[in-house]
Amino acid sequence: NFTLTQPHSVSESPGKTATISCTRSSGSIGSNYVHWYQQRPGSPPTTVIYEDNQRPSGVPDRFSGSIDSSSNSASLTISGLKTEDEADYFCQSYNSSNWVFGGGTKVTVL
């Protein structure tokens, strides 16, 4: 199995851009889709990016996803940060028999 490693926390000011990385330990990051979830306290997760870079309807275009084969990582970028973006963010991928979640990143909007 592989692991997905995220930074524990990211802090940025309102209006700025926050980027969260998700590094795959083994196997190619591009071999399986990466999905990103937002979780606010006391609520279940919700999808903000699916299939590496697709945005569900209702998710602002301030949220974007990308894959970087050179670093074997995925990234979630939140531009024009708002206080409402303050939450935990989890990446998720899979192999033939397992889902794998990253450890989560707490985004603080200062």
Partner 1 sequence: EVQLVQSGAEVKKPGESLKISCKGSGYKFTNYWIGWVRQMPGKGLEWMGIIYPGDSDTRYSPSFQGQVTISADKSISTAYLQFSSLKVSDTAMYYCGRSLDFGGNADYWGQGTLLTVSS
User: What kind and span of H or E run contains 71?
Assistant: none
> Cβ of residue 15: shortest distance to partner 1, in angstroms?
28
Report the candidate in 104, 100, 110 with the shortest Cα–Cα distance to residue 26: 100
> Cβ of residue 62: shortest distance to partner 1, in angstroms?
19
Smaller CB separation from partner 1, 19 or 32: 32
Smaller CB separation from partner 1, 46 or 71: 46
> Cβ of residue 55: shortest distance to partner 1, in angstroms?
11
> Cβ of residue 41: shortest distance to partner 1, in angstroms?
10
In the complex, which residues of this chain contact partner 1 (CB under 8 A)?
1, 32-33, 35, 37, 39, 44-47, 50-51, 56, 88, 90, 92, 94, 97-104
Report the candidate in 106, 110, 109 with the shortest Cα–Cα distance to residue 41: 106
> What are the strands, taking DSSP E only, across the chain?
4-5, 9-12, 18-24, 35-39, 46-49, 63-68, 73-78, 87-94, 99-101, 105-109
